[in-house]
Amino acid sequence: MQFSAQEDIEAPIDTVFDMVADFERFERMAMRRGVEVRRAHGPTPPDVGTVWEAVLKIRGKPRHITVEMLDCDRPSVISFGSGSKGMTGATTIEFLALSQRRTRLSISMSLAARTLPARLLLQSLKLGQSRFRRQFQMRLSDFARELEERYQHGA
């Protein structure tokens, strides 16, 4: 299953990249939402090779997920690979400077199942795919507005 979304942000590309690459902030946000997150190993600050381990509840069951940063080419791309017991995933975040003060943020994700239970979970996601895509785009839009506000208040 693959999906993607993009949003234009009124901020310079370097600023957007720095805000998106603030991994400590994302770790704290995840913990506030009940996700157990810990940096397993890797360079400090996070860079290629950094690995996070997380435990979150999906459909009422705790799921253990490992996420590794695979690529970080400032200021154009950050990519991650993820895996759990029966599923693998890939996420790519791309940054494109539209002008000196405007950046396009694009996120693409893919999920693949390796086991029968994971295939069933993925199939149920596919059934609600249009709703899931709308929610994903809406959350990216909200995130983009938050980045713009942080830029305007910090600039």
Q: How do residues 50-94 score in pLDDT, each as one tens digit?
A: 999 999 887 788 889 999 999 999 999 999 999 998 899 999 999
pTM: 0.88
pLDDT for 11 = 95
Which domains can be identified in the chain, with CATH numbers? 2-154 (3.30.530.20)
- pLDDT tens digit sequence for 108-151: 999 999 999 889 888 888 888 888 889 999 999 999 999 999 99
User: 56-65: which pairs have CB atoms within 8 A and are 24 or more residues apart?
Assistant: 56/30, 58/121, 59/121
Residue 150 near residue 19, CB atoms below 8 Å: yes
pLDDT digits 0-9 by tens, 15-49: 999 999 999 888 998 899 889 999 888 777 788 99
DSSP 46: -
